Amino acid sequence: MTSAAVRPPGRRRAAIWITLGIVVVLVIAFFIFANLYTDVLWFSQVGYLNVLTTGWFGGTTMFFIGFLAMAVPLWLCMFLAYRLRPVYAKLDPGVGRYQQVVEPLRRLATYGIPVLFGLFAGAASASRWQTAALWLNGVPAGKTDPQFHLDVSFYMFALPFYRSIVAFMSAVTIIALLATIATSYLYGSVRVAGREVRISRAARVQIAVIAAFYLLLQAISIWLDRYASVTDSTVDGRVNGAAYTDVTATIPGRAILAGIAVLVALLFVLTAFIGRWRYPLVGTALLIVSAIIVGVIYPWGVQKLVVAPSEKTVESPYISRSIDSTRQAFDVNNVKVSTYDAKTDAKQGALRQDADTTASIRILDPAVVSGAFAQLQQFRQYYGFNSTLDVDRYTIDGKEQDSVVAVRELHQSGLGSSGKYNETFVYTHGYGLVAAYGNKRQSDGQPDFFESGIPTSGKLGDYQPRVYFGEDSPKYSIVGAPASSKPIELDYPAGSGGQQATYSTYTGNGGPKLDNLFTRLAYALKFQDEQFVLSDAVNNDSQVLYNRDPRSRVQQVAPYLKLDSDPYPSVVNGHIVWIVDGYTTSNEYPYSQEVSYGDAISDSQNASSLGLDNINYIRNSVKATVDAYTGKVTLYAWDASDPVLKTWEKIYPNTVKPMSDMSGALMSHVRYPTDLFKVQRDILARYHVTDPGAFFSNTDAWQVSPDPSGDTESQQPPYYLTMQMPGQSSPEFSIYTTYIPQSTSSSNRSILKGYLAVDSNAGKTAGKKSADYGTLRLLRLPSDDTIPGPGQVQNNFDSDPSVSAALNLLRQGSTKVINGNLLTLPVGGGLLYVEPVYIQSSGSTSYPLLQKVLVAFGDKIAFEDTLDGALDVLFGGDSGATAGDTGAGSSDTGGSGSTGGSSDTGGSGSGSGSSATSTENQQLQAALDDAKQALADRETALKAGDWAAYGVADARLKKDIAAALAASQAIDKQSSGSSSSSGSK
């Protein structure tokens, strides 16, 4: 009989469990290793491996520092408390029983407790390695705070580190003190007999020294709190930083308390030698009383007796500090402010001096026309566009054009149940960029495209159209194959006219190579997909593409940046590239007002919820690009003077290129970022006031106008326009916003008070910004409350009888009316409002068509088929200028547009029925125009008392409404037919 046969069952079960445990540990370890290994592969491929290794090194180093800083003192205190115990101490019977229980585990506890606390401390320290890195690499900012006259980099980089070190060491000291007392009590060094506490000499020395060290730490903490006062919010939230009470009472009081804490610490040291606890205990009581008197009562008294009676006068110098620092921290200190005495009379020829601006007015709303782009340029259900498109500018036929652009991305959700193979290997990328003139439309209301179709054609020339990296790209794809193999990655599908489906093979360098079994196995575990190992489509030339969203990709390689929420695509040097703006931020800039970043960038089109995201300093320090084909990420130092960026460049060397490396083509598409402008407009709503007295009174506080054409509870988004601001010699690509008076519980007036714009054109010179880029221009409107704001203008539109009747006609049947963006332009000596109006039937493949334009100047409004016509009506028959949509209401603009895109490609998508739909739309428009005229004739007859003419006009109105309803139903029927036909193909 073998030895295994006689092995006890218990031992066999133990062996099985041990084996299973080892297997589980090995599997978990391999999963962890596979994740780390794939991270190394990805960062190596994208060229930013040092970002990963720096994070690993920093976190690991801080983990061990935190572990040792906690574990070693704790172990030493427990060891000394035990080692220096009295040998023949007479223990209380209860304590003796506890000692008997603990004694067998003493050695384990002596090492285990410090290790356990050390692990927690190490993990906490590792998560704050960036704080230590910023302290080690901090770069001076060249600006000092007005209170302590220290460089502001001290507050942003050094002070947070010092305070975190003091807080950490205070926690270590408290835990060590408690462990010392517990050990000493357990082994008789501390005995309690009734009301008497007896402490051995060794325990007394140890406890007193630890207590003295803790008080020294508190003295340092209180001293550092003096500096922190310049970043605290005071004066009922009006000022961020040290105000009168802080400067005259709190800061000196903290210095006194720090000195008292040092004296009490010395008393504890004295006790270690003389053995009298009375002195440190009295000193501690004195410290507590002093903290109450000096730290609470005295500042309260100063605030109530000195500040409150004359708060405006007393706080004025400190409010001035806060205003100056806030404007510097948010880079709005050089805003050009001018008074704009806006006219309200719409006179003939008023726009003659603004003809270039008028010709560039963008009537295409990027938040509305996504549906039109999809129906006319989608071609297949697995292609799509973002719900809100982007605004860019291109030079077309020698003239710079504001353009609405979108990338035709792959939406795998439209594939249905196509199978894992197709989703991974075949449907891997989108195709092409679609662009339309911002200031034009076709006669039927469709966008006028200058780049469209599959294959792409238009005004942008030849470029790489394949989009492997986009905002809606699949989670991962496996691409690439030997040159001799048959391509399997679908470029675009077959169409009419004999066009064949086109396939390609990825030849870029966008992801890690799957050239060995181990790598394939690691990615199979990462993505839980066996195809990495089993599929014959995976070969040594295959690559796996992931982390494909431009923002995510940039965030991975630049984790210190806060990224703009709106990356946008541009064709640059033959490639589609995503341009992403990156910000360096801080919440430790002295005297600067804190704002919630998430709240500041939220509006009716972007609901942001970022949680604890307060900042009081921001710079657009980095412009990043992501190549849509190769995925290459490039970071450019846009603000090389930013001390935060310079500090991070020392932490992550050689990751950011100088601005001089930016090509002229890229510079021509760089724009002033949306989110930065939103934060700055939020600040300037209050900090446009630079007089401390007026700021304190809050008599001229503003707010951003609510969005009148969307969610009126949310702020109106800023809009990009090419326009000429007062003080400029020519129109410039700009982003603007409007201000109305700050609402109160009793008043909410939509009167225009301010107009803020910033020059957003960086120019076309390689590596050099244009001189005016980033110049903030603020127009202050007269205080006589005569200039209507966006909300009031929208109300005038909605309440005008003619407009209301026409819109009600448009809403008849199954047609709905969509108000586009309400634009505000400082032209003609006043404020011109422009709002495109779209109509859309309820058919499943319907899309919004731009049919009307509303305009307003002062209290006068006009509502016509084209912007050009509306301006002429508004300004007495002759506006003096020509808009970009001249003739759009009567004839086709001849743009390459959707007709070219559909016929060239033969796409069988939703655009296939556009010709028939266009005819029906024209019929609908003609019926609506006739109805509008009949309505006007009826009103004229009613006012004149001509009942015969009234009856004739009323009959015409009913007939025209019936014709409009019939045309609308025909559109619905046509749309439904197109949907059925498209779905059957």
Amino acid at the residue 217: L
The C-alpha atoms of residue 494 and residue 205 are separated, in whole angstroms, by 88
Which among 909, 898, 740 is positioned nearest to 824, based on CA atoms?
740
Q: Hey, how many other C-beta atoms are within 10 angstroms of the C-beta on 730?
A: 8
What's the number of CA atoms in the CB half-sphere (13 Å) around residue 877? 0
> Which H or E run includes 402?
strand 399-407
State pLDDT tens for residues 480-513: 999 889 999 998 877 644 566 889 999 999 999 9
Average pLDDT, the chain: 86
Q: Confidence class of residue 222 from pLDDT cuts 50, 70 and 90?
A: very high
The C-alpha atoms of residue 928 and residue 445 are separated, in whole angstroms, by 14
The C-alpha atoms of residue 935 and residue 960 are separated, in whole angstroms, by 10
The C-alpha atoms of residue 967 and residue 928 are separated, in whole angstroms, by 10
The answer to whether 812 and 965 have CB atoms below 8 angstroms apart is: yes
pLDDT for residue 898 is more than 70: no
Q: Which of 247-251, 288-292, 724-728 bottoms out in mean pLDDT, i.e. has the lowest?
A: 724-728
pLDDT score of 194: 66
State pLDDT tens for residues 430-487: 999 999 999 999 988 899 999 998 888 999 999 999 999 999 999 999 999 998 899 9
What the block records as the tokens of 492 is 């675009």
What the block records as the tokens of 655 is 């990751």
Strands 466-467 and 430-431: antiparallel
Q: Which residue has the higher pLDDT, 952 or 246?
A: 246
Q: How large a percentage of the chain has pLDDT more than 90? A: 60
pTM of the model: 0.87
pLDDT for residue 3 is more than 70: no
Q: Which residue has the higher pLDDT, 8 or 908?
A: 8
> Which H or E run includes 233?
strand 233-234
Q: Confidence class of residue 380 from pLDDT cuts 50, 70 and 90?
A: confident
Amino acid at the residue 627: D
The C-alpha atoms of residue 642 and residue 299 are separated, in whole angstroms, by 37
Mean pLDDT across 848-852: 91
Q: How far apart, in Å, are the Cα atoms of 299 and each of 87, 433, 892?
A: 53, 63, 75
pLDDT for residue 900 is more than 60: no
Q: How far apart, in Å, are the Cα atoms of 733 and each of 42, 212, 725, 761?
A: 38, 64, 10, 5
Mean pLDDT across 758-766: 95
- Burial label, 560 (beta-carbon count in 10 A; 0-12, 13-18, 19+): buried
Q: Which residue has the higher pLDDT, 820 or 900?
A: 820
pLDDT for residue 5 is more than 70: no
CA torsion angle for 781, 782, 784, 790 (degrees, to 10)? -10
The separation between CA 840 and the C-alpha centre of its own chain, rounded to angstroms, equals 32
The answer to whether 187 and 85 have CB atoms below 8 angstroms apart is: yes
Q: Is 458 helix (H, G, I), strand (E, B) or coil?
A: strand
pLDDT for residue 318 is more than 80: yes
Amino acid at the residue 100: Q
Which phi and psi angles does 343 have, rounded to 5°? -85, 160
What the block records as the tokens of 931 is 């109805």
The residue length of the chain stands at 985
pLDDT for residue 85 is more than 50: yes
Q: Is 578 helix (H, G, I), strand (E, B) or coil?
A: strand
Q: Confidence class of residue 934 from pLDDT cuts 50, 70 and 90?
A: confident
Q: Confidence class of residue 836 from pLDDT cuts 50, 70 and 90?
A: very high
State pLDDT tens for residues 338-352: 999 988 888 899 899
State pLDDT tens for residues 687-735: 999 999 999 988 889 999 998 876 667 899 999 999 999 888 899 999 9
State pLDDT tens for residues 619-667: 999 999 999 999 999 999 999 999 999 999 999 999 999 999 999 999 9
Q: How large a percentage of the chain has pLDDT more than 70? A: 87
Which among 589, 552, 695 is positioned nearest to 236, based on CA atoms?
695
State pLDDT tens for residues 104-162: 677 888 899 999 999 999 999 999 999 999 999 999 999 999 999 999 999 999 999 99
Q: Which of 274-278, 608-612, 714-718 bottoms out in mean pLDDT, i.e. has the lowest?
A: 608-612
